[in-house]
Amino acid sequence: MKIGFVGLGNMGAPMARNLMAAGHQVAGFDTAAAPDDIPLATTAAEAASGADVVITMLPNGEILRAVASQIHPAMPKGAVHLDCSTVDVESARNVAQAAEASGLSCVDAPVSGGIGGATNGTLTFMAGGPPEAFDTVSPLFEVMGQKAVHCGDAGNGQAAKICNNMVLGATMIATCEAFVLADKLGLDRQAMYDVVSTSSGYSWSMNAYCPAPGVGPQSPADNDYRPGFAAALMLKDLNLSQMAAKAADADTPMGQRAREIYAQFVEDEGKGALDFSAMLPRFSNRGRGPADT
């Protein structure tokens, strides 16, 4: 396919490279990044011109809407706008309506898997939009990821992402709290892991991404909490979840409390660049992050 790719940051650039390695023709654009191994256009509209699919990977809904207004007029009728950003549900649905008005299809497909998943082509995509458009871009999902789930109508990909990450944020906090409690009770961390990871406390946060250094599979905890998924990004997703909860009149007290704790960690304590699992040393030191230990 001929693909325009707008947003060539830490996630977008490796995704674009994987598409190129699979034989797709890619024209990229970014206002800041300029990878020397990806063919670049001078504007977003130029990247989108004549493309079968235009992929966007952008920071927020406001920027997505602005970029959509630039690329939609340049795209041929029947093309697909595949948005892999994580944004608010309202923006995703607004952009889908704008695409339809321009004779295009739109699929919102935020990702899970972080920079490693983008580099290794093992992302999970949560997609919303017309089934026909999902089918069109499915071969691209197979290149960039290991799984794609069609979640329903426009915006449902974003809904799935923020629900997933609300669970993730809350369970990571609970996992870190449990390790700190084990420490104070004199329970060895490895013993704690061996019990919880094979018992009813099993979770992805414990089993696949353990926040305790030297325990479980390799994780950012074993690399001084350099981010696989930064705490600032977790806060972004938790903010989106609470925006959606307010709009939908959903009661999410655990999600709200997780948002408050990550807001304190990121905004008040200045630890947003650390991995979101760095909550463990933060709790161990009662509010002082790893840089203060």
The answer to whether the Cα torsion of 81, 82, 87, 88 is positive or negative is: positive
Using alpha carbons, select from 217, 196, 221 the residue that is nearest to residue 279.
221
In the block, residue with structure tokens 């991404």: 209
**Which residue type is seen at 195?**
V
Show the tokens assigned to 41.
């256009």
Known catalytic residue: 161? yes
What's the maximum distance between 2 C-alpha atoms anywhere in the chain?
65
Q: Which long-range contacts (CB under 8 A, 24 or more apart) does 20-29 make?
A: 22/143, 24/140, 24/143, 25/1, 27/2, 27/3, 27/51, 28/4, 29/4, 29/5
Q: Which of 147, 161, 184, 236 is catalytic?
A: 161
Q: Measured between alpha carbons, how far is 132 from 42 in angstroms, rounded to an integer?
A: 31
Residue 58 near residue 6 (C-beta atoms within 8 A): yes
Q: Using CA atoms, how far apart are residues 148 and 190, in angstroms rounded to an integer?
A: 34
Q: How far apart are CA 202 and CA 199, in angstroms?
A: 6
Q: Which residues are catalytic?
A: 161
